[in-house]
Structure 1
């Protein structure tokens, strides 16, 4: 008898301890859930669920629901489906249970089962109150049902996209949000929770390390290297990721989520600037004085004037929405506005990004799609220069399979003007980890690429390029750090493109874009003449010891005529120079006659004579070497003057080459106000100006 009583005592005591353990697990799980640590919360809810007796059906169902919610947020689809089915099994399901289960079956590609769950959710929601929240959930359920019915056909139809998993970039953890940078798109930044990320602790949110930003460099042969750690204060022990860049590449906007064990995590947007070769420690970009909302996934419009981002702040349409604000400077913004419908929905809209042509790409689970987050885009209303916002004339397009899948697809970045680049997806990964993929769509894209540089000098990074087309295009472009620009153009359009820079003469090019069946790039050069220094006119040739212009000089002279027509308010001195051989008097006379020959050609081609002053310098002004010229010759350095003494000291086989450099034709600007004033000094016409883009 005593033995039986003892056994019963042990059993009761054990059950009591188990009950206490279960309650403790639930309390811990709730605490983790409150601060967004879903991985740690799931561990506790799993323990509580497994130790809850099957006969306690209500309690077991409630704990299954908490576990399901964690798995859903962790992208552990199969575990979440199993947990939600247990919620239904124990009769604790509601309309949200069936809505979420339908979305999870979509992520698994089980469209038939998804349709059943969405139908149940619709029936349940239609009999509830007409609150805004219920209307939003009902819309999501109806969109889900439409998606589940149409997705098999969409996958069958496919698209022109081809994709490839980038094993070189990927790890065994999350790798996502790729973003190209550099003048030639030769750098790729992305977010990763791989082992090389800073810090030693694992995140209670994901169970992995906190994310850092990594980068990859392309070599001179166009081959990508291996991912590298960024050696600066850009990353911290917190979560960093989802970055973007200003058009000049000097400012990075990124998402950061700091850790607080007792407070929910709210993401914020940070700013880092590039100093020499490193990125500075990020500082917060204050968008609103709202400490209870998240601000994440920044994207800068191609014109550099608008910052798009994602937030759950008040005034949205449900879930996460895309917002925008004007960039007053790199560290200050104006008030935020919601981009509205049809872009935003009652679901989540995330990861906005821009294609260089102005198209806005984003990911959403609130539009009809294949499952999870799908990629969508809004075509930029060219030639309208303003950034995209929602409205009646905005249409949301779906790129189809295989760019989109039943999993999460997001984080586009584009390589040049072509429809190619990188994105990320967790398709096919049972753990729910994201990986980077390349994409390519062989659409026909026509572009113009140009370089603006000082004539006989280097690139002009402060230059502005104006483009006007007879289709209404009227835009202003900035150049990259190598003086280049790239712009998409349309067939059957005539364009005038003007390169300008303060202190330099304008240069204009014209192109007629013909239709083509394959992508094509027009390449143009914009050499700008310095107003304050002599400018060499290359390829001017005279008969030996004569002033007669040779026929091969015609192209260079016609280009000079064009330059003077494009800059009608300047007058120039046209100078000719000889080498030091022969008498000074003869060389001066010969050079004067040669300068007059060039002036005569210009007058014969419509240039007013009073804009031209011929001057022969003979051998009196030997050439002074500029840095760019010095780089081409072993025996020269910047600032050298090709005097007779210097040339005679060179090896004999090199002397003729340097005599040829002294035999040259140049021009320099004398005035920039020709024709602007009358004899009384009154302004009679406005100076010729670059075409300005429309407001």
Structure 2
């Protein structure tokens, strides 16, 4: 990856009048000068030498920071421990130490240092998020996402390989493997920058390569127009591949009189746009307007398919939260608009890196400022209710090391990681999520017919109510009387409604198989013929409408609403037990209570007549003095309605 992932780094260096031949007795001074020039490979042994001569905090700190910045977590932990022993550490040292312990999966020890740090700095958001990450690390089972992870061995090398994308059936990625087309510096060129080696890592500069996936066919992308003398990475294309953006570093001269003697010239990362001409050649586009390589860095570009919105990261800009933030800019009238910070739900006091979107519109990025397992973790953000909801991508995508540069390609998540067990410094991985179990689709279907003619009934409204969730679905039968509705599994109540037709009985069924069929018959009622309403019960000796009875009467409400010209009589009946006069009065009160309930639901009282029949219309032999079962008596205790007028 381009230098340190803590910041988009300062990359190209030029020193005036600095000698590379410091004397041995000044090991620390020589180490520090190398460190200032980001020559960490040279600085490490010199800091160690200085410490062994004199175990000072500054020498231990120099070694610890050098190993941290080059991602050697085990050595960094050793040297931060030495620094801790000197008792001359700073709060920043302790925060770095906690981060390195997380990289080494020593979450309990990291928590100890974070708690100590937060005692003095209770409002530090980065430390709070790191602590939350330690708690995640101590619960590994909760982070597992099912799927298969593979190292893309054909693409990877012993060096750093990352920032993969795909265009025209080819993979394009960045690597600092030895570059076959190293250009030599001119004899009198004095910028002091080595074109053969990037001193931060000791490897080549990053360049872009392409391949179909066969390691034998990996080759550098087009030369001078894409791969320059220094870093080229993070290739991103619009949908048709006519426009390409990449992160680059280029050398810009600046007068030594401005810099002063022994000063360091630092060149930051910028963004480059190039376009294909009609002969399929890459041609430079106008300079990206927000590059400022002498002041700050812009990198990690990602362009949307239409090519009019560019996402990138920067260590400076509007509403900057800290570290590197993610911004976007929109092109209008061929001009890129002012950069927009993606806000506090995405950006943190830490570093947000490598933005991208998947095909479903989810925002993918890497961050060491959101709660993670150590270093950079990959996160997914979903935009809901005018805000981004951020979740950790879990394991095995994330590890205690740096996991970054997500790319959603061919239904898989590609990313880079320097986790243990890889082929090199940073390797490209592919994660294939486990197939989501297909949720069974339960279907309720059937046909509604006329009871007398057996002909299908069209335009019957059917209401399906889930007995558990109480949600309802309404559908209508087609011209052939058929209906069909996918539903979740569970218990459903079905009711059927059609003008001038009735079916009082409610149909209840369980969707335990994929297809549940339920046919239904409806009938046209006759004048002055009583129709029983099922499940209308009253407490013994009482006339109040019970809740279970109210649900049944609601069906009658719907029928009366569907048939506004009907006038009906509500008749209540008792069994023969108790004396005749009492039963007559009780049944009248129950009939009146039933009418009152219907009126409360909006049915006009002029359409309703209450009639109590007591025990005068028994349906069986169970008259006074006749011994009958409870079931036989129950048959007589009923509520009926009779249509008096259509």
Same fold, judged at TM 0.5 (above): yes
Q: In the alignment, does 2:429 pair up with 1:437?
A: yes
Higher helix share: 1
Q: Secondary structure at the match of 1:263?
A: strand
Equivalent pair of 1:357/1:380 in contact (CA under 8 Å): no
Greater mean deviation of Cα atoms: 279-288 or 229-238:
279-288
1:172 CA drift (Å):
0.6
Change (3 A) 1:62 1:437: same
Residue in 2 aligned with 1:39? 41
Question: What SS does the corresponding residue of 2:391 show, helix, strand or coil?
Answer: coil
| Helix, strand or coil at the partner of 1:169 | coil
Q: Which residue of 2 aligns with 1:194?
A: 177
Give how far 1:106 is off: 1.1
Q: 2: CA distance between counterparts of 1:367 and 1:191?
A: 26
Instruction: Tell whether the 8 Å contact from 1:302 to 1:354 is kept in structure 2 after alignment.
Output: no
| Cross-structure match for 1:90 | 86
The aligned residue for residue 126 of structure 2 is: 140
> What residue number does 1:262 align with?
264
Unaligned runs of 5+ in 1: 1-17, 127-134, 382-390, 447-491, 493-513, 517-695
SS at match of 1:396: strand
Which position in structure 2 is the counterpart of 1:214?
209
Q: Write out per-residue CA displacement over residues 16-37 of structure 1, whole angstroms, 9 at most, x where no aligned residue.
A: xx995343x4344333433444
CA distance, structure 1, for counterparts of residue 349 and residue 316 of structure 2 = 13
Alpha carbons 1:364, 1:375 under 8 Å: kept:
yes
1:104 partnered with 2:100: yes
Alignment partner of 1:413 is 2:407: yes
1:243 aligns with 2:229: no
Hey, what does 1:400 align to over in structure 2? 394
CA distance 1:415–1:48, shift in 2 (3 Å): same
2:378 corresponding residue in structure 1: 375
Contact 1:217–1:225 under 8 Å retained in 2: no
Which residue is 1:317 aligned to? Answer: 321
Q: Which protein is richer in strand relative to its size?
A: 2
CA RMSD of aligned residues (A): 3.1
CA deviation string 1:432-482 (max 9, x = no partner): 810011111145699xxxxxxxxxxxxxxxxxxxxxxxxxxxxxxxxxxxx
Q: Which residue number in structure 2 is paired with residue 30 of structure 1?
A: 32
Measure how far apart 1:374 and its partner are: 0.3
Decide which moves more: 94-103 or 195-204: 195-204
Q: Taking structure 1 as the reference length, what is the TM-score of the superposition?
A: 0.53
Name the SS for the 2:78 alignment partner.
helix
Secondary structure, counterpart of 1:87 in structure 2: helix
Deviation track 1:384-422 (CA, whole Å, cap 9, x = no partner) reads xxxxxxx96221011211111111111122224x3x142
Residue 73 of structure 1: aligned partner: 69
C-alpha separation in 1, matches of 2:251 and 2:38: 10
Q: Separation in 2 of the partners of 1:20 and 1:515?
A: 81
Count of residues in correspondence between the two structures: 398
What's the offset of the Cα at 1:431?
10
Deviation at 1:224, TM superposition (A): 7.9
Per the alignment, do residues 408 and 289 of structure 1 end up closer, same or farther by CA in structure 2, a change over 3 Å counting? closer
State the distance in 2 between where 1:398 and 1:49 align: 40
Matched position secondary structure for 1:101: helix
Counterparts of 1:277 and 1:290, CA distance in 2 = 29
* Per-residue deviation, 1:46: 3.3
CA contact under 8 A between 1:211 and 1:241: conserved in structure 2?
yes
Residue 125 of structure 1: CA displacement?
Answer: 2.1
1:349 to 347, 352, 357: 352
Q: 1:329 to 1:194 in 2, by over 3 A?
A: farther
**Structure 1 residues 118 and 353, CA, compared in 2 at 3 Å: closer, same or farther?**
same
Match of 2:415 among 407, 412, 423: 423
Cα gap change, 1:79/1:281 in structure 2, threshold over 3 Å: closer, same or farther? farther
Per-residue CA shift, 1:149-176, capped at 9, x if unaligned? 2223244551123210011000010001
Residues 484-530 of structure 1 deviation map (CA, whole Å, 9 limit, x = unaligned): xxxxxxxx9xxxxxxxxxxxxxxxxxxxxx999xxxxxxxxxxxxxx
Q: Distance in 2 between matches of 1:435 and 1:263?
A: 31
Measure how far apart 1:283 and its partner are: 6.6
SS of residue in 1 equivalent to 2:82: helix
Shift of 1:48: 2.8
Partners of 1:194 and 1:282 lie apart in 2 by 28
Max Rg structure: 2
Q: Residues 167 and 160 from structure 1, CA distance in 2 versus in 1: closer, same or farther, beyond 3 angstroms?
A: same
Is the CA contact (8 Å cut-off) linking 1:300 and 1:354 kept in structure 2? no
State how 1:656-695 maps to structure 2 within 5 Å. none
Q: CA deviation at 1:103?
A: 0.9
SS at 2:121 equivalent = helix
Report the counterpart of residue 293 of structure 1 in structure 2.
Answer: 296
Mapped pair 1:164 → 2:142: no
| Alignment correspondent of 2:51 | 49
Give the equivalent residue in structure 2 for 1:118.
114
CA distance in 1, matches of 2:234, 2:64: 27
- Does the alignment pair 1:362 with 2:358? no
* C-alpha distance in structure 2 between counterparts of 1:445 and 1:229, whole Å: 42
Unpaired segments ≥5 residues, structure 2: 1-20, 183-194, 253-262, 439-472, 474-485, 489-646
Q: CA deviation at 1:61?
A: 1.2
Do the aligned residues in 2 keep the contact of 1:154 with 1:400 (CA within 8 Å)? no
The yes-or-no answer on 1:232 pairing with 2:223 is yes
Q: Kindly tell me: are residues 351 and 265 of structure 1, through their superposed partners in 2, closer, same or farther at Cα, counting changes over 3 Å?
A: same
For normalisation by structure 2, the TM-score amounts to 0.57
Q: Secondary structure at the match of 2:330?
A: strand
Report the Cα distance in structure 2 between the residues aligned to 1:515 and 1:166, rounded to whole angstroms.
42
Is contact 1:407-1:427 (8 Å) kept? yes
The range that moved more, 396-405 or 27-36, is 27-36
> How far apart are residue 277 of structure 1 and its match?
4.7
Question: Is residue 187–residue 216 contact of structure 1 (8 Å, CA) maintained in 2?
Answer: yes
Moved more, 254-263 or 335-344: 254-263
**Separation in 2, partners of 1:68, 1:335:** 39
> Cα–Cα, structure 1 residues 168 and 20, in superposed 2: closer, same or farther, change >3 Å?
closer
> Closer, same or farther in 2 for the Cα pair 1:19/1:241, shift >3 Å?
closer
Partner SS state of residue 388, structure 2: coil
Do the aligned partners of 1:76 and 1:430 also contact (CA within 8 Å) in 2? no
Structure 2 distance, partners of 1:145, 1:340, is 22
C-alpha displacement of 1:197: 5.2
**In structure 2, distance between residues paired with 1:431 and 1:42:** 24
C-alpha distance in 2 between matches for 1:41 and 1:434: 22
- Residues 336-363 of structure 1, C-alpha deviations (whole Å, 9 max, x = no match): 1211111000000001111122221000
